[in-house]
Chains A and B, each alone.
Chain A
Amino acid sequence: AQKVTQAQTEISVVEKEDVTLDCVYETRDTTYYLFWYKQPPSGELVFLIRRNSFDEQNEISGRYSWNFQKSTSSFNFTITASQVVDSAVYFCAPRTGSARQLTFGSGTQLTVLP
């Protein structure tokens, strides 16, 4: 069985602060992908990043960075110097096997205040 947990229901920060969104994915599978999506008020899910389970190298892309630790099943996502436009619900979504099926976490509502 697999389980994806986003323990933070809501986070509120002031513009320009850094914010980290937590995700824990528990599975017995050794090969899987982890995705982060953003859902602004318009409703459309926007793809942000993808990581493979066999690659624990942390990366930075612009204001986004992610920290993947397979030993603790954590896949955290950080936004540096947050902006009001970053306000959205952020979903962690793992995928195992060859199927395209994504299993979404419950999401974290991020509010960035001006």
Chain B
Amino acid sequence: KAGVTQTPRYLIKTRGQQVTLSCSPISGHRSVSWYQQTPGQGLQFLFEYFSETQRNKGNFPGRFSGRQFSNSRSEMNVSTLELGDSALYLCASSLADEQYFGPGTRLTVT
């Protein structure tokens, strides 16, 4: 069974731009969660989607948004990028209790 896939793997953007990251969960998994990992703040929860509905949201500004499609694929968007948004963005899918993570998207904002 294929694992969680994330695209793109690496991304370089300029401050003020916006970016969209994509996540395809493991087949049959309906829950998708997003996390941000930075050296300073560690791993922090962004949001979770289940059946196209946002079920939970972390403490991030409104510039961070997401959505989930009927096939459970999810996207997250960051608008008006700031230097501090440089991070590894990890997506996780789950069927029951365990979350399985993708390889992440490394975003660099210059």
Stretch from B14-22, B63-71, B73-81, B93-101 that touches the partner: B93-101
Which chain A residues numbered 62 to 114 have a C-beta less than 8 Å away from chain B? 91, 93, 95, 99-104, 106-107
CB distance from A17 to the nearest CB of B (A): 27
A100–B102 contact, CB under 8 A? Answer: no
- Would you call the interface of chain B mostly helix, strand, loop, or mixed? strand
Chain A residues with CB under 8 Å of B33's CB are 100-102
Q: Does A57 contact B (CB under 8 A)?
A: no
> How many A-B residue pairs lie within 8 Å, measured between CB atoms?
56
Q: Does B58 contact A (CB under 8 A)?
A: yes
A47–B98 contact, CB under 8 A? Answer: yes
Interface string of B48-74 (1 = CB under 8 A from A): 101000011010000000000000000
- Would you call the interface of chain A mostly helix, strand, loop, or mixed? loop
B42–A100 contact, CB under 8 A? Answer: no
Query: Given contacts A101-B48, A104-B43, A107-B42, is CB(A44)–CB(B103) below 8 Å?
Result: yes
Chain A residues with CB under 8 Å of B48's CB are 99-101
CB distance from A34 to the nearest CB of B (A): 11
Query: Given contacts A100-B94, A101-B58, is CB(A44)–CB(B43) below 8 Å?
Result: no
Q: Size range of the interface on A?
A: 20 to 34
Chain A residues with CB under 8 Å of B44's CB are 104
Q: Does B24 contact A (CB under 8 A)?
A: no
| Residue from A47, A91, A100, A102 in contact with B31 in the complex, judged by beta carbons closer than 8 Å | A100
Chain A residues with CB under 8 Å of B104's CB are 43-44
Q: Does A2 contact B (CB under 8 A)?
A: no
Complex Cα distance, B59 from A103, in Å, reads: 12
Other than A46-B101, A99-B56, A103-B45, give 9 A-B pairs with Cβ distance below 8 A.
A42-B103, A43-B88, A45-B101, A91-B43, A93-B43, A100-B33, A102-B43, A104-B43, A104-B44
